[in-house]
Structure 1
């Protein structure tokens, strides 16, 4: 009883070796068991249970599938924005420097807008976002 454990007790309380996992399967002789994804074994009862108890994600998933089906099966209708800005596309295609200048303005404006939104959301203070906006726009 001096704090040591006898060999008999250590053999009696030996833990079983862990089941092989993908991480230690390469080190053991048994390969890791292959399991199917859980939803691959569902019955109709399981699917109804999920739809009944988790109806909000199912609603969004069905909406996504519906709109994807609509989007990819309908013929493309000429969008009014593309029709009305065709002249701008021709102008930018003929003048690459103007295209680069407008792209820079667009990028800078989006960065400032994103910064304003981040400040507004993080600080919950509109005055901080407006201060950020005016500092960048007017160099103040």
Structure 2
């Protein structure tokens, strides 16, 4: 039973409200549908119907916002048609490689000049040594193991694939004792370890801000691609997949380091920059 003072206070408040509102018309507040029954009205959504993107305006909007996926979609349709119409190379015929066709003149030039072939091979071997030296410097001196781990993964996978599917050496291959591997011993074609190693080194350089050096390595890698095509040391697909392999194994090395909770250390200049940034902030 409530105390006597509570009903008296309630009556006084009710009478005060009646006196204040006397002579005035009071409009009740609108009650939402279903509120009296304890139901909540669902919030209005602004999602467009699923079929809107099929309209000309929707397709134009997709092309404007996402041109790259749209280009790949056109490529898919194109090569679906090509796949069912292009004639395949007969088993007895040599492989068709458009990279070989594009470098036919350079191939004839180095074929007629063995000294030029050996010079280009020697320069290419120097570039491979530069890749290895940089990756070793990164892990031994700067204590950043990502590039080294990616290189180990890359060459191991390359060896497995090279043993699993052995491609024939091109009939026009121009070997040189100055090439790497020396004397062309143990020649795996798929994929190009030369190209993949250069990509791994270039990615590592960009991570620590060595953009000019990375650009130099990219330019040398492109020259390496042309030289390998001209001397028939690799098929075009080996070189293209070599680029993808470098990117892939660099990411896999990062995932491995993250799983081990290992933070890759930067060079001393990067560490000084980070310290100064923390002090200023």
Q: Which category of TM-score, normalised to the shorter sequence, fits these structures?
A: 0.3 to 0.5
TM-score by length of 2: 0.20
